[in-house]
Amino acid sequence: RSVHAPALFSLGPCAVQCADLLALAAECPTARPEGIPAPAADEAVTVLYTGGTLGRPKLAAHSHRLYAALLGLVDEAQQDAPRNSTFFPPMAPAEDRVLVSTLLTHGSGHLTSLQALVTGAPLVVLPEFEAGAALRVLREERITATMFVPPMMYALLDHPDCAPGAFPDLRRVVVGGAATSPSRLQQAVEVFGPVLSQGYGQSEALGISAFGAEDLASEAARRPELWRSCGRAITDTEIEIRAENSTVALPARQVGEVCVRGETVMLGYYEDPERTAEALHDGWLRTGDMGYLDAEGYLYLVDRAKDIIVTGSTSDNVYSRVLEDFLLTLPGVRNAAALGVPDEEYGEAVQIFLATAEGTEVDPDAVGAAVTAELGELYTPRKTVLLDRLPTTKVGKVDKKALRAALVS
């Protein structure tokens, strides 16, 4: 179903047509009026912007039930319950200070702020992300917990002020909101220490899976492939891998679309019944992410469904994330994006965009040869574009829509 509300409210001016809640609050009586009914659990209470990396951003509507579930996870974390201590770390208001570096209207910023607001820990909001400013705030404000999307983390790691031991107060850093390069994640652990945890979710489902810092360090030592995993399903959340247009779960290690059911799944898209019907089926959300589960229930993401490059005489799949993860292991490459571009011979050809480190030279031919040697001819880029930086969305993800527009123009 589509989600409709008589009115949307915002905290201050908003790009979407909303009523300013702060202005209304200034006119309200100080005493709470009597006779106001309690909201139903499934009534919409918030709308969050989706990432919009491939198309027009949508508004995902969430219910009071979601926040009851998230508060339950916070409560479990405060009691250090082992089942979910991976999703929200325990916090002490007198000791912890939380930094929000992404938009509060997006899932990552929303979740980061939630636990601080619930537990009473101070919340520091970064007006906009810039690596040097973020590192300065981490140090000067003695931040203990924060969350970064992967491109932000890469920018921090490449900054000269980011060094091991420089942030002794930092006890928990969640990396999420997009797929993370395993090599860069390991680099982050080397710099920040064993405080890194992985979280997977999206604005449509704020919590899906998690990999806590303690588990990530110990389990990845046991099975190095787990550096590629985003953990296991959080409490009361089910994950299935399904083929297109199927309701049957695929077996372990078979790639399909990640489908999710649980309390953190949205009610639907605000005022958008068509896309709501495409995404939700019998309580299951089709995330648009392609991945697989292993025999132990760990989830691995391989691509966004719309990012898969179909190429070659046999129309094989090239998973852009697999290619991007490898490119990030090459010297001088700070960030990478792979796209499929129309090609008369191959249907689609692989084209890559590389953000290179200052003062380094990257040879496109050498990059192509390295890709062929590691991943095979199918993944070999037909063209390589070198840039100082890759465009990003307002929430810090690589903006492939902007890259495609640049190709067209």
Same domain, 236 and 127: yes
The residue that leads in pLDDT, 379 or 10, is 379
24 CB burial (10 A radius; 0-12, 13-18, 19+)? exposed
Asked if residue 395 is part of any domain, the answer here is yes
Same domain, 61 and 201: yes
Asked if residue 300 is part of any domain, the answer here is yes
Show the tokens assigned to 179.
């797929």
In this predicted structure, the answer to whether residue 82 has a pLDDT above a threshold of 70 is: no
Same domain, 288 and 190: yes
Using only the alpha carbons of the chain, give its radius of gyration.
Answer: 22
Q: How far apart are CA 397 and CA 178, in angstroms?
A: 7
Q: What is the pTM of this model?
A: 0.86
In this predicted structure, the answer to whether residue 274 has a pLDDT above a threshold of 90 is: yes
In this predicted structure, the answer to whether residue 86 has a pLDDT above a threshold of 60 is: no
The chain-wide mean pLDDT, for the chain, equals: 88
Region 111-134: what's the mean pLDDT?
Answer: 89
Identify the pLDDT of residue 139. Answer: 96
For 138-152, b/e burial (b = at least 16 CB within 10 A) is beeebbbbbbbbbbb
Q: Read off the pLDDT band of 88 (50, 70, 90).
A: low
Domain boundary pick from 282, 304, 326? 304
The residue that leads in pLDDT, 14 or 163, is 163
The residue that leads in pLDDT, 324 or 107, is 324
In this predicted structure, the answer to whether residue 85 has a pLDDT above a threshold of 70 is: no
The residue that leads in pLDDT, 136 or 94, is 136
Which segment of 82-86, 172-176, 363-367, 391-395 scores lowest on mean pLDDT?
82-86
Asked if residue 208 is part of any domain, the answer here is yes
Q: How far apart are CA 107 and CA 101, in angstroms?
A: 12
Q: How far apart are CA 4 and CA 8, in angstroms?
A: 10
In this predicted structure, the answer to whether residue 132 has a pLDDT above a threshold of 90 is: yes
Q: Read off the pLDDT band of 83 (50, 70, 90).
A: very low
Q: How many domains does the chain have?
A: 2
Share of the chain above pLDDT 90, in %: 56
In this predicted structure, the answer to whether residue 148 has a pLDDT above a threshold of 60 is: yes
Which segment of 156-165, 173-182, 306-315 scores lowest on mean pLDDT?
306-315
Q: CA nearest 53: which of 149, 183, 173? A: 149
Asked if residue 135 is part of any domain, the answer here is yes
CATH of the domain at 342: 3.30.300.30
Same domain, 159 and 258: yes
Q: Read off the pLDDT band of 84 (50, 70, 90).
A: very low
CATH of the domain at 282: 3.40.50.12780
Identify the pLDDT of residue 55. Answer: 56
Same domain, 290 and 320: no
In this predicted structure, the answer to whether residue 130 has a pLDDT above a threshold of 50 is: yes
Summarised one tens digit per residue, pLDDT across range 199-244 is 899 989 988 998 887 778 788 888 999 999 999 998 889 999 999 8
Summarised one tens digit per residue, pLDDT across range 341-372 is 988 888 899 999 999 998 899 999 999 999 99
325: domain range? 308-408
Identify the pLDDT of residue 6. Answer: 67
Domain boundary pick from 266, 282, 304? 304
Identify the pLDDT of residue 299. Answer: 96
